[in-house]
Structure 1
Amino acid sequence: MTVAEWCVFAALMLYLLTIGSVKWIGFRRFDNSRPRDPAFYDDPIRARALGAHQNGIETFPFFAFAVLLAEFRGGPQRLVDELAVLFVIVRIAYVFTYVGDRPTLRSILWSLGFAINLAIFLMPAIRGFWPV
């Protein structure tokens, strides 16, 4: 498996751990028979963790598809790997800024992550112009 493919797995684990850690920390208040109980998410940190988790679910398909498309269509593997690692780093920072209630920085990181995704996605179309 390539580094970029491992990054797809890391992105999946990141959005699962984002909500899993909050449920684990609040285990006394979390009722697994009602996992979507809105009362559990009344706490602001839990609510922001849920938002970060949901955003991770929303961004994951595009990232996974972009990586696989770039690899299958002959994008420069080293560049695909580097951008995928950068995407995961940006997503980790994004989760911390979301949970830490830093909305401006969070929006900047979301935009940067989207730009990285777009670069990976478009790589096969413009591979002749890359100096790699």
Structure 2
Amino acid sequence: MSTTIHLAQFTVALWCVLAAALLPLGCAWLAKSGRGGFDNHDPRAWLARQTGWHARAHAAQANSFEALPFFIGAVIIAHMLGAGQTLLDILALVYVMLRIAYVGLYVADMPTARSAVWAGGFLVNSAIFLIGYR
């Protein structure tokens, strides 16, 4: 009698979930960096008073948190439905790269390009959600 132990693989797409989950933390670091006087006793009020790229980095943080549940759900659903792993991994990598570009464009105050990249990310995420559909 042979016993086979099956260990779940941590796919590239699942690593991308971790990367996407860490992205808001990078935005928070940007929002709070380079400016003296950060008030950790009342960080929300301090952030609400920020202007310029610090305020945009904070807004990118909020949007990154808002986009995260759909991405996590799409990756999990694609895995559950047995989507092709290579395509899933590629789409997840593209999504994370688009989200990183989105943050850069947000901080750089390039709203039209930022919106186009956001739309691209949404389409890629929708494709991830649907690739396991049969």
> TM (normalized to structure 2)?
0.88
1:26-105 equivalent positions in 2, closer than 5 A: 26=35, 28-38=36-46, 41-105=49-113
Aligned partners of 1:4 and 1:80 also within 8 Å: yes
> What is the RMSD of the two structures over their aligned residues, measured on CA atoms?
1.3
Count of residues in Structure 1 that have an aligned counterpart in Structure 2? 125
Identity of paired residues, percent?
A: 44
Aligned partners of 1:19 and 1:53 also within 8 Å: yes
Per the TM alignment, residue 50 of structure 1 is displaced from its structure 2 partner at its CA by 0.9
Q: Secondary structure, in 3 states, of the residue corresponding to 2:37?
A: coil
Per the TM alignment, residue 39 of structure 1 is displaced from its structure 2 partner at its CA by 5.9
Alignment match, 1:130? none
Any gaps of 5 or more consecutive residues in structure 2?
Answer: 1-9
* CA–CA distance in structure 1, aligned partners of residues 47 and 105 of structure 2: 23
Greater fraction helix: 1
Alignment match, 1:129? none
* CA–CA distance in structure 1, aligned partners of residues 118 and 33 of structure 2: 26
Aligned partners of 1:40 and 1:46 also within 8 Å: no
Q: What are the Cα deviations for residues 91-119 of structure 1, in whole angstroms up to 9, with x where unaligned?
A: 01000000000000000000000000000
> TM (normalized to structure 1)?
0.89
The alignment status of 1:18 with 2:32, answered yes or no, reads: no
Any gaps of 5 or more consecutive residues in structure 1?
Answer: 127-132
